[in-house]
Structure 1
Amino acid sequence: MAHERPVAVPARLRASWQRSERYGVPPDEVQPVFTGTVDEGSLFYECGSEVLRGLHATLANEPVSLMLTDSEGFVLSRLCGDSTILRSLDRVHLAPGFSYAERNAGTNGLGLALADRAPSLVSAEQHYCSGLWGYTCAAAPVLDPATGALLGSVNLTTWSQSSKELLLAVAQAAAGNTAALMMARGSGHAARPAPRGEVFRVYSDRLPEPRLSGAWQDALAEAEGAIARGRVVVVSGEPGVGKTVLASAARRAVRPRERVLNARPPAPQDADAWLALWTPELGKPDTCVIISGVDALPVSAAEELAAALSAVPAAVPAPFTLTAEDPAAIPDVLGELADTVVEVPALRYRPDDVEPLARSFAGRSRFTPAAMRALQAYQWPGNVRQLRDVVRQAATRADVIDTRHLAPEVFTGGTRRLTRMEAVERDEIVRCLTQPGASVAKAASLLGMSRATIYRKIAHYDIKVPGRSRHG
């Protein structure tokens, strides 16, 4: 390290310094990457900017710069009423269009918040680069309330000699308010539950019974072959596509009597307890751990996990398999352990799988031809998990599932996020159109709309009910 002054460094900061050194970040000069472009069209930018504008009005006379960054650390916006600190920040390029990710600017508040997905405070000499010693940076990550994906961060920067006791709390509140505002303006879906780091045993009877399509079988065969050769496999794919199911099935094919555990990612603050809970299982005979969502792990937890996995004696097959939505987002220390990436195709690319999966999820319930056509026509952005939830919910309503028993989302083709009021209106229109003997005229009467209005609404929400034209 190039720091000349002694400074107490917490463990998270020490790990960040070590990463900064590995990345080759200059310790005496800030050299962030400049992109020159800022995405101002996202819901995250809209809501984050609104929250920061309100906060800026409160802190207008304070020497605090309020910033919004994307998930790569690029500064999207900056608000500050103090010209002195603004000029100073310009000199170190902490400005819109520049990236302050760890690998570009070394240890700093927003870079650490993004790397560890946890609120972070970095003050004075705790920064890796001496050019930042004059500042205190408090940042908190913003996660998508529906998917849990990392969207970016809220960052507050002030002089290092200023009071910083409340700075991190303000950053956390702003990040939470941004996510809440996104939820209010989004589709009205329930927020994704916070990660809890569950660890459970995967039983063979939980695997799908139906014979699935060639695309699924090809991915399964690729995973089986790689596991049998002792390769460390990453099973990738969109949320809900069946990554853990495929990994489990592949392990069972290679080692039928193997005990398979699944470790799901924890909240950042629970990472140490999560690792201590299940990593002792790695050394046990005939045991495999499927570690899910490694691309969502905080970098500090990924480094501890990589150390634990590297300490496991080599074996064929390897005693662990990984899953990730985006293999490119896996922290480097874990990515270096992986030998093979197997992608599970999204359900929309496997239309032949909809019917056998739906019949499996329905249990003793059956489908009318119209209901099955509706299921097969839908694009399933939530993949197999969404299909399972829709079918199981319908099966609680009827032994013979018709279109009126299916969730309204199945009859819409639009991908635009709906407000809560729009979602309620769409659902009511679908409910009326899927009743026995329904017509547009009857639906209009039930809803108190003119036929012309309901036709416009059907087109607006891209509603499609099998067996009924928009003019029927």
Structure 2
Amino acid sequence: MNTSAEPWPTGPAADQQRIRQAKDDLLSNGLLAVRPSAVGVRDVIERSWRRSLGDTVPTRPDEIPYQEIDGHELELGRAAATVFDRLSDHIGEVRVAMFLSDHTGKIIMRRVSEPSQRSVLDNAFAAEGFDFSETSIGTNGLGTVIAERRPLVVRGSEHYNDMLEPITCAGTPVFEPFTGRLVGTFSLACYTVDATPLTYAVAIDVGRQIESNLTAMRGAKERALIQAYLVANQGEHDPVLVVNERVMFANTAGLTYVSSDSHALLWTHLSDAPLERGPQRIGIPLPTAWREAVVERVDGSHESDAAYCVRLLPADHDPPHRAGTVLTGSAIRLPAASLSVTPDVQTQLIDAICSRDCVAIDGGPGTGKFHAASAVYRTFRTHVSPLVIDVSCHRRDDESGWFSAASEALAEDRPVILRHVQDLEPREVNRVKALVQCQDSAGSTATAGDRCAALVMTVDLDAAEEHVQSLVGQLATIVRLPTLREIQQQIPQLVGHILTGLPDGRRETTFSSEALQALIAWSWPGNVAELSRTVEDLACRMPGGVVRLTDLPTRLQHARSRRQLTLMEDAERQAIISALHRSGGNRTEAAQALGIGRTTLYRKMVALRIDA
């Protein structure tokens, strides 16, 4: 690791014109036309220019990538905040801006007080959330520090981006204590005419102070964990688990519960639970069932340093099962393919099927209605496969064809699944009624082993018209499947089920706790179908590997930081959407109409979840 600092660049201000010309020549002639070291600038700057040109980075981009600041940058931000505050007090009205980026170059903190300097920086997208890696904006005091992994200065025209030319940046890397992993960068930025070697020295010193704060914070977290364990494990033989945001460990009796699934479920549940001081007896989710436990929170030096000690009580103390859990030892179990069939729903479904009723499985798109119906017949009618008829797809020039096929199947005691009944037209209602009568007639002669419903409908009653709602209500026993959002605690288990059904290599893929926490936090508008596609895509990209938070789609990576918008934020969101609509999607015009800067508009669009 090369962390030695580059020397402060020297030379008269007139050199800025020469440097600008050297950059223009390299851009015009190309990488191969100018041999290395013949550009006429410092080696570190030439290397960065060549990397930027090789990545086809524009010198004046219309926009650059933006991401909302999420919880994973909070620790670095907290370590830097006190240093920023202290430095702000010392420099007073001096025209110096402070920047902190994460390890990718995304700016996660900015302090700037001088209005004209703020305007220059905003026009260059130098604000929180914007990507200042070299591949995004070229040579600069954050991204180039990451690429070189050492302190350096980028002065005026040495910036690859034309909008940054008035600025000189002195940057330094920030390394994680103990591991030496690069976690971010710090940079001071000022007008080039104001830059001095002292700026460089201060930047390096601030970087070391941030690293020192990270070390102290890690120590506080470890002390909270150890204290939590000692509190819970005093003379106890019960399983004891200790968790914080990123760590989980246990005594010998509790080792069987240590897994990424358990950590994701426990941390998500406990961090959202309104726990009071002292030990409390509550139900907690584990991958196999809800368990009764005595839980105590042990606070660290900061809210996110909190740890929880969990002492599991014997099984005879366990609470009744909740929606989304799995009951072990059930007399009858549906196959894993019926992913969204929770124990409560499973009981309703089995009771309805075994009573020979016509059954309507209700749920929104992607909730697994067809899979649940298929699982029922694979369990109870193993000797014959059901006839599947999609009401929404039958041929309009042969409307009676599906009815004839269904009638013949029921007469032969072959089960029938009618899909998408919400699309049934009014003139077809009587045909479904006739099918129910046909089922009843066939049921009177069925053998005891075959006495289960022969007709199952899948329907989205929320999307159905009144004639369908009336039909289903009159003829069928309705079993509603929950949305995935309603059974979020079951998501780690569902991920396991989905992986089990994949080919060799992909089924060995695993998910880290942080990735599972993000999956639990996501709203899943596409329900189980969306989860299945997501897991299958990730397993295809990383067969047999460990899926981490950064491997998830961007929308999922930030799911854990999502919250309900306030009334004021919702009104602001609607105003921005209206401005974008009036401007035909032109963000510059929309920003002008709203009276805000373009970078401010970008930040608000992401923070307020506006896609445009």
Q: Same fold (TM over 0.5)?
A: no
**What is the TM-score with the length of structure 1 in the denominator?**
0.42
**What is the TM-score with the length of structure 2 in the denominator?**
0.33
